[in-house]
Amino acid sequence: MTFLTLPQVGRRIPVAEGQSILLAALEAGVPYPHGCRSGRCGSCKSHLVSGDVEIGKHSPFALTDEEKAEGLVLACRSVPTGDVTVEWLDDAYVAKPSAAQDAEVLSVQAMTHDIVALHLRLADRVAFRFAAGQYLSLTIPGAPSRNYSMANRPDEELIELHVRAVPGGQTSTRIHGELKAGDTVRIEGPTGAAYLREAHPGPIVAIAGGSGLAPVKSIIETALHGGSDVPIHLYFGVRAERDLYLVDHFRDLERRFANLTFVPVLSQDDAAGWRQGFVTDALAADHATLAGAKAYVAGPPIMVDAAWAALSARGVLASDIHADVFFTPQAEAGKET
Ligand code: FES
């Protein structure tokens, strides 16, 4: 039997044949920092203190060759070949999920042709503490649980989630077609390592694709509400004009906060009045350097990969890029946004 030692929580855990460090830790109830579970976001980056692992396929941005040479690994892609000792890198905050609880649906509001905003009142809001950028697991009767990011600030009472109707997605289809005010749902969490690092002194760059705007909204509004006066650049990429939402809301914030710039970008629509192209190209065109910035990225895998490349090329450290990858259920059971 192989064992995994985690000094940060004082645990020694058995690891099954072929099991990753992350999975072994999560199964043992350790709140190991993670995001995508697929080697793309870098949230589970860890220091291999002793022992050896086999590292599986991963994005070169989530773990660079230099980092590998320094003894860093991705816990979600690392299978121990013998006993190992591992420490995760960011010990500032580890989500401590609270017990599952009921929530009342207060409203289901159409934001675009395929995104609704849910507002929920939790049975015990005080027990549900989260950091801006994290997500929860939502269960509605008769459908599998899915992860959705909080779009509200952690200090606000109501929970706001943005749910995109995923073609063939059981849960999102039922949320769009059947869920209504007064219904009861179940939530559990929070989870997610792409949360706002409030102590970081440099600029903030946030890149959202589609309903990836939800965690980014929470991050931006929490930073502004907390009095942050660093430059904050928000890039919002969608396919077409009809996919845009909350534009007036962010334009209004832009007027109220001189340090915020909001840039919506359309990738497949030449509608007049909007920036055209890929959102990451717009970011790259606007900034020759972003050295010292903290970056938060939320959206589909292809956008997250492009963001890593653009941010890295502009001097943002890998340790300063926090990504939340939104998969379709076909790609991976889990986040359906
Ligand atoms: S959780 Fe391991 S790289 Fe995303």
DSSP type of residue 150: B
- Cα 203 to Cα 189: distance, rounded to the nearest angstrom: 29
* Adjacency order of strands within the sheet including 146-149: 146-149, 135-139, 184-191, 98-110, 115-122, 159-164
SS3 83: coil
pLDDT for the residue 199: 82
Domain boundaries 2-88, CATH class? alpha beta
From the CB of 321, is ligand 1 less than 6 Å away? no
193 lines ligand 1 (CB under 6 A): no
| Residue-level pLDDT at 113 | 97
CA of 271 to the centre of ligand 1 (A): 36
pLDDT at 59: 85
**Is residue 74 within 6 Å of ligand 1 at its C-beta?**
yes
Distance CA 270, CA 281 (A): 16
Please tell me the predicted confidence (pLDDT) of residue 91.
53
Ligand 1 atom nearest to CA at 58: 3
**CA 325 / ligand 1 centre spacing (Å):** 9
Q: What is the SS3 assignment for 163-210?
A: EECCCCCHHHHHHHHCCCCCCEEEEEEEECCCCCCCCCCCCEEEEEEH
98-191 matches 2-88 in CATH topology = no
Vertex 255: Cα angle to 251 and 256 (nearest 5): 115
Pocket-testing residue among 59, 63, 64, 76, ligand 1, by greatest number of atoms within 8 A of Cβ: 76
Q: Bin 251: left if φ > 0, else alpha if -120 < ψ < 50, else beta.
A: alpha
pLDDT digits (tens), the chain, 337 positions: 899 999 877 789 999 999 999 999 999 988 888 888 888 888 899 999 999 999 999 988 788 888 899 999 999 999 999 999 999 986 555 556 677 999 999 999 999 999 999 999 999 998 898 989 999 999 999 999 999 999 999 989 999 999 999 999 999 999 999 999 999 999 998 888 889 998 889 999 999 999 999 999 999 999 999 899 999 999 999 999 999 999 999 999 999 999 999 999 999 999 999 999 999 999 999 999 999 999 999 999 899 989 999 999 999 988 889 998 887 654 444 444 4
Domain layout of the chain by residue ranges: 2-88, 98-191, 204-325
- Ligand 1 geometric centre to CA of 104 (Å): 32
Closest-CA residue, ligand 1 atom 3, reads: 39
Distance 308 CA to ligand 1 centre (A): 14
Helix or strand or coil: residue 160?
strand
What is the CB neighbour count within 10 angstroms for residue 248? 8
Residue 116 Cα to ligand 1 midpoint, Å, equals 28
In contact, 128 and 156? CB cutoff 8 Å: no
Q: What pLDDT does residue 94 have?
A: 55
Ligand 1 atom nearest to 75, measured from its CA: 2
Domain 204-325 has CATH 3.40.50.80: yes
**Is the Cβ–Cβ distance between 336 and 168 less than 8 Å?**
no
What is the total residue count of the chain? 337
pLDDT value at residue 50: 95
DSSP assignment, residue 140?
A: -
> CA 230 to CA 76: how far, in whole Å?
33
Question: Do 237 and 278 touch, CB atoms closer than 8 A?
Answer: yes
Q: Is 81 left (phi over 0), alpha (psi -120 to 50) or beta?
A: alpha
Rounded CA separation 219/81 (Å): 38
Token pair, residue 159, equals 């929970």
**Residue 63 CA to ligand 1 centre (angstroms):** 10
Residue 37 tokens, joined: 């579970």
pLDDT of residue 337: 41
| CATH value of 98-191 in 1.10.3720.10, 3.30.450.40, 2.40.30.10, 3.40.50.1970 | 2.40.30.10
